[in-house]
Structure 1
Amino acid sequence: MLFSLRHRILLLLSCIILVNLVGAGVTLWYTQRSQELQSGIIDTEVGAVTAAHDLTAELLSQRGYTTYFFLNGDETWLKQMQTHHKAFQDQLAKARNTSLLPGGREILNEIESQYIRYVYAREQVINHYKNNRKDDGARLHWTIRERFHNILDLCDQFRKLHEDSIRMQRTEFILQSQALVGLAVAGIFLSTVVGIWLGWVVFRRVLDPIRDMATGSAQDNTEHLPVDNEVEALGDKLRTLITDVGDVQKQLDASRESLMHSEKLALVGKLAAGVAHSIRNPLTSVKMRLFSLERSLELDDNQREDFEVVSEEISHVESIVKNFLEFARRPKLHPRRQSPSDVVDTSLRLLRHRLESNGIEVHLRRDAKLPEVPLDSDQLKEVFVNLFINACDAMVSGGAITVTEETGLIDPMGEVAVIRIADNGPGIPKDIMDKIFDPFFSTKEEGSGLGLAIARRVVEEHGGWLHVRPGEDGGAVFIIALPGVRRSAWLRS
């Protein structure tokens, strides 16, 4: 039995509506699943990884105090060690609250057991030192080092356990997203086939007879259709079809954006926690060494000034770590009138030892200092430091960095201050030249991929731009253009 025209159109429209309903249902389910997975990673696993990093940091912070007490007998070291001991116990309790994996609880129990034995042995060493039995204390001191490293290995196992859990959940997330993409492609294909079929039916069975009737070429025996009602009904169906196809595309776009957003949030959560706490660990050791050196050395004025500069820069690095954790929030500028040349000099002075130790020569081409403009010197300094460090890392066997300063006119910015930073390193491959300013893109194994992205954003918030091009003799040239006095007036508001 053949279907009538009305039944065919109704059947095709029903198929399209069914595809849309299935697509919408799958999209809603996947969105909810993405939120649950995102919440699970951020609230539990990332929290456990963070606790593992904090636990390792507090354990490492206790290293060396017993030796320092042995060297100078100052009980201040013991007080500081006791502070970190309490902090370690607090972090251990926090790790128990965040870890939901059975293996994690077993590792934490082993950490606690070995740490108690380690603390007891350490107290015996300290008592030997206090009672002037230094030889006995030294022998016992060497035996507890192995316990310390065992505890450190257990902390690493706890961290890796939760990192593996995050990777497994991310793999599951990717597989589900691939399945959704496949379903979406199948839905688009099915909608396309049904739409083409519906179009063919409409053209051959509706529009052609209407056209024949309009031109008077229809056969005498042609069945007369209620043209007015049929055309109106046909128009309604076509409008419904167009609307449904548009809704399917919007739903697919929304699903794709939700997928990308959820994946980035999971990556940022893991990356921010790992990088921030990895930076804080060496900073703690640097602070401790500086404190010890400052107490034990007799410094002249220049050396003391160097110590103060190093201490200030360590605090500044801590501020950078905090800003990194809040990367999604746009930083607020605090401008004051200053020459960009002063910021360049400060950056080079800060990196002088690093550049010299890597065999990097710096050539500064400046006829006169650039004019003063309102700028945030701290944030702009980070831009220059980032570019200098990138150039230094690229030239592993030494080389030269050329900094050229000049003023000029660039349409539509008007008067600008231009700083070019060129190196004679290997340069940037053409296939990644357009990607280096993308967030989280990095060619370094330990890079976060945020340095150049933040640098461009800082320059753009000053009203300028940051570009890169290949050098004439190899290497890369980064060009910073900052607006002059007239264009920078907005910064005073």
Structure 2
Amino acid sequence: MLSLRTRIALLLFCVIGLNLAGAGITLWYTNRTQSLQVQLSAKNVEALEASHGLSAALMEQKGDTTYYLLSHDDSWLKELDRKRVLFEERLSKVKESAFSEESLLVLSKLERLYATYDASRKVVIENYKQRRSKVGAELHWKIRDEFSTLLLLCKEFRALYEQAIEQNRKNFSEEAKIVSNVITGGLILSAIIELLLIVFLYRKILDPIRTLAHATDDVCDSTSPSTKNDVLALSNKLESLIMHIDDTQKELDANKETLMQSEKMVLVGKLAAGVAHSIRNPLTSVKMRLFSLERSLELDEQQQEDFGVVSEEILHIDNIMKNFLEFSRRPELKAKLQSPSEVVDMALKLLKHRFESQQVRVSVERTGLLPAIPIDGGQLKETLVNLILNACDAMVQGGSIIITEKTDIVEPLGTIVFIRIEDTGPGIAEDVLEKIFEPFFSTKEEGSGLGLAIAKRIVEEHGGWLHVTSSENQGTAFLLALPVTRGTTWQKFS
């Protein structure tokens, strides 16, 4: 017959084994579920990006056709042929991912209508080649409806795919809820079993041991092994085991939260990149049209200035979209020797009308132009514009912005260029201040939450740093620091 010590040890080993087995099964199922969800989401996102690409490729063809009709440059026809092939490849890829009969029907209709539209477009181009511009223009107007229908079919398919993704998400949420309920029930059952085990241990094992220990205290001398020492050792081991289980559970919960957050950031980044890519294509057409208008219209000085501001703003939007697309990878800086003061002046000139409309007074404090250092003027201007616009948006009732420029020596870095942007706005709360540089964190209803994150990364890519100080009702100050002397950080610009 097994001794009491052996039976207790076997019972404890059984409990430990059951807990480890349960934790292992739960961890395995959680990882497997998350892996399946990531794979499914990645596949859906890839197909959704391809459906977005249909509309983009179609718009690019329209732009190339228009450019050819305006310039009669055959290079646009070559570009049109290339994009026609790209559209057909994307259409084939999307058809492979068709998820329902309804989506397949829409794609088949899209394919047939595109063939008709492409044939009509070839006739239009041929008329223009033969100098029958009037006939070509009339037919060109007629096929515009076909083009609009094609765009609507692309949007219809994309809407169907988004609905399918949403349905998959709902199904996964429901399954996860069921699993969560099962796990919760298992935990409750486990708690009940452990409670019964504790009662059993106290009534059937520990109480008899304690009674026996007290009963033998009087007959045991000081040199005899004491039963109390065995109970204390057992108690210590149980306490250590409980603490270990609690720590393991906390670690599992922390790892689960980290995995879920990482998955969310990947999905949001991919979707955001797709949206930014779709926006940049129409902007290209707008820039080309503005270029044509600028050459064909006779504008007075004020109109030319307004036209220039519109062009700069469109370029500004295009740069923002480019930063959005490049957010997931490190930016490739194109540095040249330039004074940061010149970049500050360019940013202020660009925002001149914004200051007037929001009643913001801007002053620059400098003793002279900052020294020329290797910088990417375009990206540094985006950083300054972002910081200044944030200050303007914070001062709803108007206010003042003070930009201070200076140089100083910071050991062991050497000479540092400092640009301080200080506003008289309401300031930033302390709980928000520590999060403002985190990607996708924004206090604005329509903000993307990428502006300050990109600004910080651009400054760090220049080998500098971006620091913020603020207090509620006392304004906010951003300090931008850039090194003057080339170091290891700048070797990429050599």
Shared fold by TM > 0.5? Answer: yes
Q: Residue type of the partner of 1:159?
A: R
Match of 1:103 in 2: 102
Q: Residue type of the partner of 1:453?
A: A
Match of 2:18 in 1: 18
CA contact (8 A) 2:273 2:325 kept: no
Classify the secondary structure of the residue corresponding to 1:405: strand
TM-fit CA distance, 1:109: 1.1
Match of 2:161 in 1: 162
With over 3 angstroms needed to count, the CA separation of the structure-2 counterparts of 1:332 and 1:63, relative to structure 1, is: closer
Which range moves more in the overlay, 25-34 or 447-456?
Answer: 447-456
Classify the secondary structure of the residue corresponding to 1:62: helix
CA contact (8 A) 1:23 1:184 kept: no
Matched, 1:477 2:476: yes
Higher RCO (CA < 8 A, seq sep 6+): 1
Q: Residue type of the partner of 2:112?
A: S
Match of 2:275 in 1: 274
1:66-465 equivalences in 2 (<5 Å): 77-129=76-128, 134=133, 136-175=135-174, 206=206, 218=217, 238-275=239-276, 277-289=277-289, 292=292, 320-324=323-327, 327=328, 329-331=329-331, 339-351=339-351, 362-370=362-370, 377-391=377-391, 401-406=401-406, 417-423=417-423, 432-444=432-444, 447-460=447-460, 462-465=463-466
CA contact (8 A) 1:16 1:191 kept: no
Distance between the aligned counterparts of 1:336 and 1:77, measured in 2?
34
With over 3 angstroms needed to count, the CA separation of the structure-2 counterparts of 1:362 and 1:191, relative to structure 1, is: farther
Distance between the aligned counterparts of 2:37 and 2:188, measured in 1?
29
With over 3 angstroms needed to count, the CA separation of the structure-2 counterparts of 1:141 and 1:395, relative to structure 1, is: farther
Classify the secondary structure of the residue corresponding to 1:107: helix
TM-fit CA distance, 1:106: 2.1
Which range moves more in the overlay, 70-79 or 434-443?
Answer: 70-79
With over 3 angstroms needed to count, the CA separation of the structure-2 counterparts of 1:50 and 1:400, relative to structure 1, is: farther
Distance between the aligned counterparts of 1:58 and 1:357, measured in 2?
38
Unmatched runs of 5 consecutive residues or more in structure 1: none
Distance between the aligned counterparts of 2:29 and 2:365, measured in 1?
61
TM-fit CA distance, 1:25: 0.9
With over 3 angstroms needed to count, the CA separation of the structure-2 counterparts of 1:173 and 1:12, relative to structure 1, is: farther
Q: Residue type of the partner of 2:51?
A: A
TM-fit CA distance, 1:87: 2.8
CA contact (8 A) 1:271 1:448 kept: no
Deviations 1:121-144 (A, max 9, x none): 333444555556555544443332
With over 3 angstroms needed to count, the CA separation of the structure-2 counterparts of 1:375 and 1:201, relative to structure 1, is: farther
CA contact (8 A) 2:290 2:311 kept: no
Classify the secondary structure of the residue corresponding to 2:162: helix
Distance between the aligned counterparts of 2:121 and 2:337, measured in 1?
56
Q: Residue type of the partner of 2:107?
A: L
With over 3 angstroms needed to count, the CA separation of the structure-2 counterparts of 1:375 and 1:249, relative to structure 1, is: same
TM-fit CA distance, 1:40: 1.8
With over 3 angstroms needed to count, the CA separation of the structure-2 counterparts of 1:200 and 1:249, relative to structure 1, is: farther
CA contact (8 A) 1:360 1:400 kept: yes
Classify the secondary structure of the residue corresponding to 1:63: helix
TM-fit CA distance, 1:155: 0.8
With over 3 angstroms needed to count, the CA separation of the structure-2 counterparts of 1:375 and 1:127, relative to structure 1, is: closer
Distance between the aligned counterparts of 2:338 and 2:202, measured in 1?
72
For normalisation by structure 2, the TM-score amounts to 0.74
Cα RMSD (Å): 5.1
TM-fit CA distance, 1:452: 1.1
CA contact (8 A) 1:335 1:491 kept: no
CA contact (8 A) 1:62 1:85 kept: yes
Classify the secondary structure of the residue corresponding to 2:62: coil
Which range moves more in the overlay, 340-349 or 289-298?
Answer: 289-298
CA contact (8 A) 2:424 2:476 kept: no
With over 3 angstroms needed to count, the CA separation of the structure-2 counterparts of 1:445 and 1:156, relative to structure 1, is: farther
With over 3 angstroms needed to count, the CA separation of the structure-2 counterparts of 1:478 and 1:53, relative to structure 1, is: farther
TM-fit CA distance, 1:220: 6.7
Match of 2:47 in 1: 48
Deviations 1:102-158 (A, max 9, x none): 433222111111112222333344455555655554444333222211111111122
With over 3 angstroms needed to count, the CA separation of the structure-2 counterparts of 1:334 and 1:296, relative to structure 1, is: closer
TM-fit CA distance, 1:53: 1.8
Classify the secondary structure of the residue corresponding to 1:38: helix
Q: Residue type of the partner of 2:259?
A: S
Which range moves more in the overlay, 156-165 or 373-382?
Answer: 373-382
TM-fit CA distance, 1:457: 3.5
With over 3 angstroms needed to count, the CA separation of the structure-2 counterparts of 1:367 and 1:172, relative to structure 1, is: farther
With over 3 angstroms needed to count, the CA separation of the structure-2 counterparts of 1:262 and 1:401, relative to structure 1, is: same
Distance between the aligned counterparts of 1:212 and 1:463, measured in 2?
73
Q: Residue type of the partner of 1:96?
A: K
Classify the secondary structure of the residue corresponding to 2:437: coil
Distance between the aligned counterparts of 1:447 and 1:45, measured in 2?
26
With over 3 angstroms needed to count, the CA separation of the structure-2 counterparts of 1:412 and 1:227, relative to structure 1, is: farther
For normalisation by structure 1, the TM-score amounts to 0.74
Unmatched runs of 5 consecutive residues or more in structure 2: none
With over 3 angstroms needed to count, the CA separation of the structure-2 counterparts of 1:413 and 1:402, relative to structure 1, is: same
